[in-house]
Structure 1
């Protein structure tokens, strides 16, 4: 089963994202910070990551860049999710190595399309 790591510090947003992914048949793991994400990735490498931009500690941008610079994690696709919806935010997210950038509030169909394209 395909496993998606959700990195989201707001429980209600995490429930929406994980619920959407589980309904589509994905296994999900959820953590609330970039530090927890790094620890979880060391324990169990996910098939993809859905990550908020604004997180406690390192931002989603910083964590994405760090993952893409690491030979062990560079091939894990990252979908950034954020309320930051300017073209510059999207450009910057993709520049950090994200495979996709979607805005909140989460549109379930858009989220699933983004994830399915990356893990198919």
Structure 2
């Protein structure tokens, strides 16, 4: 079974992403901070990471850059899901190595299709 790590501080968004990924056959773990995400990734490398940008403490952009710069995590696909929707934000996500950038509110079908695309 494919595994997904959701890094999202909104409980509503965590529930949305979790339920759609579980319906698509993923085993899901959700955390609220970059620090928790770093611990989970070290302990158990997921097949996919769903990442918010605006998080308490470090930003999702910083975590993305960190994960993509390390040999042991650089190949884990990262889908950024954020309310930050400017072209500059999307460019930053791309420059930092995110595999996809979806703007909230995320379309459920687009979300699941994108997750399946990168988790294979």
TM range (shorter): over 0.9
Give the match for residue 117 of structure 2: 117
Question: What stretches of structure 2 of length at least 5 have no aligned partner?
Answer: none
1:37-63 Cα offsets, whole Å, 9 max, x none, are: 000111111001001000111101000
Which structure 1 residue ranges, 5 or more long, are not aligned? none
Match in the other structure for 2:43: 43
The answer for the alignment partner of 2:102 in structure 1 is 102
Q: CA separation in 2, counterparts of 1:109 and 1:57?
A: 31
RMSD: 0.7
TM-score by length of 1: 0.97
Q: Distance in 1 between matches of 2:91 and 2:36?
A: 26
Aligned-pair CA distance for 1:11: 0.4
- Structure 1 segments, 4+ long, off by >2 Å, are none
Q: Deviations over 1:11-46 (max 9, x none)?
A: 011000000100111110100000000001111110
Equivalent positions of 1:74-93 (< 5 A) are 74-93=74-93
Alpha-carbon contact 1:8-1:33 (below 8 Å) kept: yes
| Structure 1 residues 43-82: aligned runs within 5 Å | 43-82=43-82
Aligned to 2:2: 2
Distance in structure 2 (CA, Å) of the matches to 1:94 and 1:113: 19
Aligned pairs, number: 120
- Cα drift, residue 7 of structure 1: 0.3
